[in-house]
Amino acid sequence: MGSNPSHCVVDLLHRGHEFELEGEVIGVLSNHNKLSKLASWYGVPI
């Protein structure tokens, strides 16, 4: 779940991209479109 400040989502997306998580990021939930380009760059649906 993403909030307006993007630092937490960025960290999770990056760690997922680098296989540093014991799971998989399968999507980003947000009530605004601010994170859509970021999620798209990592190939994660929003």
Domain ranges of the chain: 7-41
Instruction: Give tens-digit pLDDT for 6-42.
Output: 888 889 999 999 999 999 999 988 887 888 888 899 9
Alpha-carbon distance 21 to 2, whole Å? 18
For residue 2, is pLDDT > 80?
no
Q: Which residue has the tokens 């859509």?
A: 36
Q: Which residue has the tokens 């994660």?
A: 44
Q: Which residue has the tokens 């779940």?
A: 1
Alpha-carbon distance 12 to 9, whole Å? 5
Residue 5 has a pLDDT of: 73
Residue 34 has a pLDDT of: 82
Residue 8 has a pLDDT of: 86
Categorise residue 17: left if φ over 0, alpha if ψ from -120 to 50, beta otherwise: alpha
